[in-house]
């Protein structure tokens, strides 16, 4: 349930939702924070918004683009660091601890500007978000969910969303699968870690199998369906991360051996988030 930012934007939200993970995951009193699609332009400011309950709030975020390499190939190793380590930061005007006003400057011994409380001195650090999900195999088919929410409404995705405090990556992937597809799964192995520095997200996708051949759309899905490999809707996928994951899976199927993949997804500067094929997969490693 990529529900709060994905194509590329991750809210560094300062709210928390408590929940207890219960088996068989039948009662969840939480709203999963999943990626929201954000429009990225060549300007240095973009508006992002994230969902909190039924309310939306907008934040202004600054970003820096790196230019592609002259030969049009993969970006040089410095790409991620050139994205200001990396990508989007929102301006924090008030302290999350005491509510005091902040100033923005580089703390002693550091290199990046931070929001520093003028009252209590607390420094606000913004860290990447982890998105976890499952690539579910069943009788040589893959389970996909059609999104019933924006962004990318009506497009297909693997069940995935933000990991919650208090759960492991695998527990989060199992929970997201239940929330989006009402499916109980067993994790088989990690499949891919995909970093998206521009938006401060890391995807961890697990290979999984259905415990029972039962699934149905959750609140954020309008349809759940098993696709034969030749029928996977590559032209109707929601996000670049899903396209990369499924392409890697198809490559492994051709070789007959599942591998673990690591890579960095860098969107091409100036492209729309909806242009899911406009990216480079850099530093790809497999084992």
For the chain, give every domain's residue range.
129-286
Residue that is written with structure tokens 């415990």 in the block: 211
What is the pLDDT at residue 89?
61
pLDDT of residue 274: 87
- For the domain bounded by 129-286, which CATH number is listed? 3.90.79.10
Kindly give the confidence (pLDDT) of every residue in the chain, 287 residues in length, as a single tens digit, with 9 standing for 90 and above: 444 334 333 333 333 333 333 344 433 333 333 433 333 333 333 333 333 333 223 333 333 333 222 233 333 333 333 333 345 567 899 999 999 999 999 999 999 999 999 999 999 999 999 999 999 999 999 999 999 999 899 999 999 999 999 999 999 999 999 999 999 999 999 999 999 998 899 999 999 999 999 999 999 999 999 999 999 999 999 999 999 999 999 999 999 999 999 999 999 888 887 899 999 999 999 99
pLDDT value at position 43? 34
40: enclosing H helix or E strand:
none
Nearest by Cα to 238 from 139, 133, 168: 133
Residue among 24, 22, 28, 20 at smallest CA distance from 1:
28
Classify residue 56 by burial, with Cβ atoms within 10 Å: 0-12, 13-18, 19+: exposed
Q: What pLDDT sits at residue 74? A: 35
- The whole-number pLDDT of residue 88 equals 53
- Among 84, 100, 81, CA closest to 92: 100
- Which residue has tokens 């993970």? 21
CB 100 within 8 A of CB 122: no
């Amino acid at each position: 349930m990529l529900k709060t930012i994905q194509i590329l934007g991750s809210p560094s939200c300062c709210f928390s939702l408590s929940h207890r993970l219960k088996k068989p995951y039948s009662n969840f009193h939480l709203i999963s924070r999943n990626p929201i699609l954000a429009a990225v332009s060549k300007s240095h400011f973009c508006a992002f918004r994230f969902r909190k309950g039924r309310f939306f709030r907008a934040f202004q975020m600054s970003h820096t683009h790196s230019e592609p390499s002259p030969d049009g190939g993969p970006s040089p190793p410095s790409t991620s660091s050139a994205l200001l380590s990396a990508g989007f930061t929102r301006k924090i005007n008030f302290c999350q601890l005491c509510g005091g006003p902040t100033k923005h400057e580089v703390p002693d011994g550091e290199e990046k500007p931070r929001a520093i409380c003028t009252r209590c001195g607390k420094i606000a650090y913004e860290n990447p978000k982890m998105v976890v999900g499952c690539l579910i195999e069943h009788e040589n088919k893959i389970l996909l969910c059609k999104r019933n929410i924006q962004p990318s409404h009506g497009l297909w995705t693997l069940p995935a969303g933000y990991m919650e405090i208090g759960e492991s990556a695998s527990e989060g992937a199992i929970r997201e699968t239940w929330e989006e597809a009402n499916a109980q799964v067993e994790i088989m192995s990690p499949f891919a870690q995909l970093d998206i520095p521009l938006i401060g997200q890391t995807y961890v996708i697990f290979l999984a199998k259905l415990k029972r051949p039962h699934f149905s759309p959750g609140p954020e899905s309008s349809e759940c369906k098993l696709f034969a490999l030749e029928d996977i809707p590559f032209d109707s996928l929601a996000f670049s991360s899903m396209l990369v994951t499924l392409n890697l899976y198809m490559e492994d199927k051709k070789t007959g051996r599942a591998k673990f993949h690591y890579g960095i997804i860098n969107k091409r500067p100036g492209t729309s988030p909806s242009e899911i094929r406009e990216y480079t997969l850099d530093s790809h490693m497999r084992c």
